[in-house]
Structure 1
Amino acid sequence: MTNETEIPTSALALSDPSRLLLPAVLLVEDDERLGAMTQEMLSEDFQVSWARTGAEARALLSGAHYDALVVDRRLPDVDGLRIVRDLRAAGMTTPALMLTALAEVDDIVAGLDGGANDYLTKPFHFAELQARLHAMLRGFAARTATIAIGDWMLDTVSSRIEDPDGHGLTLTRAQAALLATLAASPAHVFSREELLREVFDDASEPNTVDVYVSYIRGKTTRSIIETVRGRGYRIGSPEAD
């Protein structure tokens, strides 16, 4: 409880590969003691990365996918709510919980209106934070079982995708997982290495991603996945066809 040393997620994953299956959470908290304690407690159920500033959080978000965010409002370089607002403006739907000492009703309303999914005021119990994160992720998963990709609809449970006219076909699980990963962060350009880690065995050949992108385009439409030259792929806008 009192250990103030950050626990590297990579080290935990190497010692226990099953941890790679845990939801990835980005904790944004500038208080060293609270941040270390929160990371340690949440690491029982989540893979936790810890950013101390808004700039560090933005850098991590640009390079990795997270299943949930826990964001303090009073950061040294930016209001944490601005991070959430910018993500929503960019089309990212990653669930976010605001963690803050600002407990007035107006502050809570501003946080929720600004794009936060939940709001927990300090001081708090770690058990409550864990429970709220689990509940938030369950609710998000239920809402996103069907994902809109332009005018196409992907059902991540059945791996079935429908075109704008309602005609459907079934993708393989890997194809559906690739599309869902891209759609979860529509503003992010995923490198082949990222997609290998997120969707496939990262020991697979790099061209595995290219092959699956080609399969998906062949079954649906080319514009469903956009190629960003020299960088990788991001979700496309198939309604433009």
Structure 2
Amino acid sequence: MQERENPERLLLPAVILIEDDPNLGSMMQEMLDVNYRVEWAQTRAQAETLIRRQEHGGYDALIVDRRLPDGDGLDLVRSLRRAGITVPALMLTALSSVDDIVEGLDSGANDYLTKPFHITELEARLRALLRGYRAQSASVIIGDWLLKTDAMLIEDPDGRQTPLTDTETHMLALLASSPDHVFARDELLGRVFSEGSDQGVVDVYVSMIRSKTTKAIIDTVRGRGYRIGRPEAE
């Protein structure tokens, strides 16, 4: 309702807050809602529904409590990373040992804030997280090539730039977001192409991207699908 009253709020970063404590969650949502569009989930299941409903990664950041009633918030982050969802995640936890923090960062979290915390520190960390993510997401290194997602260009090792379509850019960015993951054709079809497309279109676009760049930019994994390549090996 608030967004309908003020369309300018649609320009604010979208954040999902995953916190099961009703008092803390309500307070955080109210305070963050000044500068962000905040959706609040109280369980991992609710969060996964919200996240996966947003096609092509509609959230700009996640704030995730580790202790959720239906599991560890860190397991949610791990699951998202395996699915190639790279939206930055700030973990909230009462677990403050070095080992806990290292585990969180190694599992895909981008930052870690221990409870209790001050809301101004949370906001500062969130701003830093968004700045770093946007700078990183604008350019993606693929071997010795550089994908510029905002400009929809790819630059070869000699600095020559080739324009890409929106679909080609999205496919390359998705593959590069999880370099060790093999994307099945069905997965690419569901996350890159419009509803009703058939699997053959995936192979067509892989061929088109290779023809504009180099064959090594996308690896074919026989019987499984595709993953990002390492074209500097040529």
When normalised by structure 2's length, the TM-score is 0.69
- In structure 2, what is the equivalent of residue 63 of structure 1? 53
CA shift, 1:110, in A, is 1.5
The reply on whether 1:135 has 2:128 as its aligned counterpart is: yes
In structure 1, what residue type is equivalent to 2:21?
Answer: D
- In structure 1, what is the equivalent of residue 80 of structure 2? 87
- CA change 1:162–1:193 in 2 (3 A) is same
Asked if the contact 2:175/2:227 (under 8 Å) is kept, the reply is no
SS in 1 for 2:79: helix
- In structure 2, what is the equivalent of residue 125 of structure 1? 118
CA shift, 1:12, in A, is 2.1
Mapping for residues 1-241 of structure 1, pairs under 5 Å? 11-64=1-54, 65=57, 66-147=59-140, 153-162=146-155, 168-171=161-164, 189-190=190-191, 220=209, 237=227
Asked if the contact 1:99/1:119 (under 8 Å) is kept, the reply is yes
Asked if the contact 1:25/1:67 (under 8 Å) is kept, the reply is yes
RMSD across aligned positions (CA): 3.9
SS in 1 for 2:67: coil
Unaligned runs of 5+ in 1: 1-10, 195-212, 225-235
Write the deviation string for residues 185-221 of structure 1: whole angstroms up to 9, x where unpaired: 7777348899xxxxxxxxxxxxxxxxxx9xx889746
In structure 1, what residue type is equivalent to 2:67?
Answer: R
Identity fraction in percent: 54
In structure 1, what residue type is equivalent to 2:48?
Answer: R
Asked if the contact 1:93/1:184 (under 8 Å) is kept, the reply is no
Distance 1:217 1:16 in 2: 41
- CA change 1:63–1:163 in 2 (3 A) is farther
Distance 1:116 1:192 in 2: 28
Distance 2:192 2:93 in 1: 34
SS in 2 for 1:69: strand
Asked if the contact 1:35/1:50 (under 8 Å) is kept, the reply is yes
Unaligned runs of 5+ in 2: 196-201, 212-216, 218-225, 230-234
CA shift, 1:21, in A, is 1.2
Asked if the contact 1:108/1:119 (under 8 Å) is kept, the reply is yes
SS in 2 for 1:144: helix
Write the deviation string for residues 110-155 of structure 1: whole angstroms up to 9, x where unpaired: 2112111111111111111111001011111222221257997421
In structure 2, what residue type is equivalent to 1:133?
Answer: L
SS in 2 for 1:147: strand
Asked if the contact 2:171/2:192 (under 8 Å) is kept, the reply is no
- In structure 2, what is the equivalent of residue 230 of structure 1? none
- In structure 1, what is the equivalent of residue 199 of structure 2? none
In structure 1, what residue type is equivalent to 2:33?
Answer: S
Write the deviation string for residues 68-113 of structure 1: whole angstroms up to 9, x where unpaired: 1100000001001111111122222211000111122222122112
Number of aligned residues: 204
